Structure 1
Amino acid sequence: MKTACRGADSLVRVLAKAGVRHIFTLSGNHIMPIFDACLDADIELFHTRHEAAAVHMADAYSRLTGRLGVALVTGGPGHANAVSALYTAQMAESSVLLLSGHAPNSQLGMGAFQEIRQADMTAPLVKLAATAQHPDALADDLAQAIRVARSGRPGPVHLSLPTDVLESAARLPADIDDASFNAIAQPLDVSRGRTLLASLLDARRPLILAGPSCSTKAGRERTAKVAAVLGVPVIGMESPRGINDPSLGAFAEILARADRVMLLGKRLDFTLNFGKTPAFDEHCTFLQIDAEPEELARTRRAVGERLIGTAVADAFSALDAFASSGIARSVADSGWTQDVESAVSYRPESWASASSSIEGRMHPVQALAPFQSLLDSHPNSVLISDGGEIGQWAQACLRAPNRVINGVAGAIGAALPFALAARVAYPDVPVVAVMGDGTFGFYAAEMDTAVRYRLPFVAVVGNDARWNAEYQIQLRNYGRERLIGCELLPTRYDNVTVAFGGFGKLVTRADEVPTAANEAHDSSLPACVNIMIEGVAAPTVKRTKP
Structure 2
Amino acid sequence: MNDRRPFLLRGADLLVSTLVDCGVTRIFSLSGNQIMPLYDACLGSGIEIVHVRHEAAAVFMAEGWAQLTGEVGVALVTAGPGAANAVGPLMSARQSETPLLLLSGDSPRAQDGMGAFQTLDQVAATAPFTKHSARVGSVPTLAHELRAALTLARAGRPGPVHLALPQDLLTQRAEGVPSSSRTAAATVPASERETARLAAEIAEARRPLIVTSGLFSPTRGGDLARRLGQRLAVPVVALESPRGLRDPAQPGLRQRMAEADLVISLGKSVDYMLDFGRATSADCGWIVVEPEDGAGEEAVRNLGPKLRRLIAADPRALAQGLADLPEAGCDAARRDWCARFGRRPAPPAPDETPGPIDSGLLCATLSDVLGADGGETILVSDGGEFGQWAQALVQADRRLINGPAGGIGGALGHAVAASLACPEARIAVASGDGSIGFHLAELETAVRAGAAFVVVIGNDRRWNAEHLLQLREFGPDRVHGCELSGARYDLVAAALGGTGAHVTCRSELRGALRRAFAAGGVVLVNVEIEGRAAPSGEEPEAAETAQPDG
User: Structure 2 length normalisation: TM-score?
Assistant: 0.94
User: How is 1:230-245 mapped onto 2 (pairs within 5 angstroms)?
Assistant: 230-245=232-247
1:405 is matched with which residue? Answer: 401
Choose the corresponding residue for 1:539, options 528, 535, 539: 535
AA of the residue aligned to 2:8: A
Match of 1:423 among 384, 403, 419: 419
Report the equivalent of 1:297: 297
Q: Quick check: 1:284 aligned with 2:280?
A: no
1:483 maps to which of 479, 482, 488 = 479
Q: Secondary structure at the match of 2:296?
A: helix
Are the counterparts in 2 of residues 250 and 344 from structure 1 also a CA contact under 8 Å? no
Q: Deviation at 1:330?
A: 2.6
After superposing the two structures, state which structure 1 stretch, 464-473 or 390-399, moved more. Answer: 390-399
Deviation of the 1:290 alpha carbon: 1.2
The residue correspondences of 1:426-445 to structure 2 (distance < 5 A) are 426-445=422-441
Shift of 1:189: 2.2
**How many Å separate the matches in 2 of 1:49 and 1:291?**
36
Aligned to 2:156: 152
Deviation string 1:421-471 (CA, Å, 9 cap, x unpaired) is 100110121110101000110000001101111211100100000000000
Is the contact between residue 64 and residue 216 of structure 1 (CA under 8 Å) also seen in structure 2?
no
Matched, 1:366 2:361: yes
- Paired with 1:33 and 1:262, the residues of 2 have a C-alpha distance of 49
Code of the residue aligned with 1:366 in structure 2: it is L
Deviation (angstroms), 1:297: 2.0
Instruction: Confirm or deny: 8 A CA contact 2:211 2:238 kept in the other structure.
Output: yes
Cα offset, 1:218, TM superposition: 3.9
One-letter identity of the residue aligned with 1:224: R
Q: Render the CA deviation track for 1:146-193: whole Å, top value 9, x for unaligned.
A: 00000000000000000111000114676444x42x321221122222
State the AA in 2 paired with 1:21: T
Instruction: Check conservation: 2:250, 2:345, Cα contact below 8 A.
Output: no
- In structure 2, relative to structure 1, the CA distance for the partners of 1:144 and 1:399 (3 Å cut) is same
1:121 aligned residue: 125
- Does 2:342 align with 1:331? no
Match of 1:106 in 2: 110
Provide the residue aligned with 2:273 in structure 1: 271
Deviations 1:212-241 (Å, cap 9, x if unpaired)?
A: 222252414111111111111111111110
Name the SS of the counterpart of 1:432 in structure 2: strand
Quote the Cα distance in structure 1 between the aligned partners of 2:218 and 2:403: 12
For residues 85 and 32 of structure 1, do their structure 2 counterparts lie closer, same or farther at Cα, with a shift above 3 Å needed?
same
Residue 215 of structure 2 aligns to which amino acid in structure 1?
A: S
Structure 2 match to 1:219:
221
Relative to the length of structure 1, the TM-score reads: 0.94
Letter aligned with residue 330 of structure 1: G
Matched, 1:502 2:492: no
Contact map agreement 1:354 1:363 (CA 8 A) in 2:
no
Measure how far apart 1:325 and its partner are: 3.0
Q: Which amino acid in the other structure matches residue 100 of structure 1?
A: S
3-state SS, counterpart of residue 457 of structure 2: strand
Closer, same or farther in 2 for the Cα pair 1:239/1:354, shift >3 Å? farther
Q: Deviations over 1:383-406 (max 9, x none)?
A: 011121111111111121111000
Q: In the alignment, residue 250 of structure 1 is paired with which amino acid?
A: G
Q: 1:262 maps to what in 2?
A: 264
Give 1:94 deviation, angstroms. 0.4
Measured after TM superposition, the shift of residue 200 of structure 1 is: 2.4
Q: After the TM superposition, which residues 74-89 of structure 1 pair with which residues of structure 2 at under 5 Å, given as runs?
A: 74-89=78-93
Matched AA of 1:352: A
Q: In the superposition, relative to structure 1, how do residues 172 and 431 fare at CA in structure 2: closer, same or farther (>3 Å)?
A: farther
Secondary structure at 1:431 match in 2: strand
Deviation at residue 248 of structure 1 after TM alignment? 1.1
2:68 corresponding residue in structure 1:
64
Equivalent residue, structure 1, for 2:190: 188
- Report if the CA contact (8 A) 1:267-1:295 is conserved: no
Whether the aligned pair in 2 keeps the contact of 1:3 and 1:169 (CA below 8 Å) is: no
Do 1:63 and 1:216's aligned partners in 2 also have CA atoms closer than 8 Å? no
Q: Following TM superposition, by how much is the alpha carbon of 1:265 offset from its aligned partner in structure 2, in angstroms?
A: 0.8
Question: What CA distance in whole angstroms lies between the structure 1 residues aligned with 2:224 and 2:215?
Answer: 11
1:436-455 to structure 2, matched below 5 A, reads: 436-455=432-451
Give the percent of matched residue pairs that are identical in Structure 1 and Structure 2: 41
Matching of residue 457 in structure 1 with residue 448 in structure 2: no
Aligned match of 1:198 in 197, 200, 213?
A: 200
Change (3 A) 1:160 1:192: same
Question: Is contact 2:107–2:118 with CA below 8 Å preserved after alignment?
Answer: yes
* Pairwise CA distance, 1:92: 0.6
Would you say how many aligned residue pairs link Structure 1 and Structure 2? 536
Shift of 1:249: 2.3
3-state DSSP of counterpart to 1:344: coil
Q: Secondary structure at the match of 2:259?
A: coil
Contact 1:354 1:365 in 2 (8 A): no
Q: Letter of the aligned partner of 1:79 in structure 2? A: A
Equivalent-residue separation in structure 2 for 1:354 and 1:199 (angstroms): 49
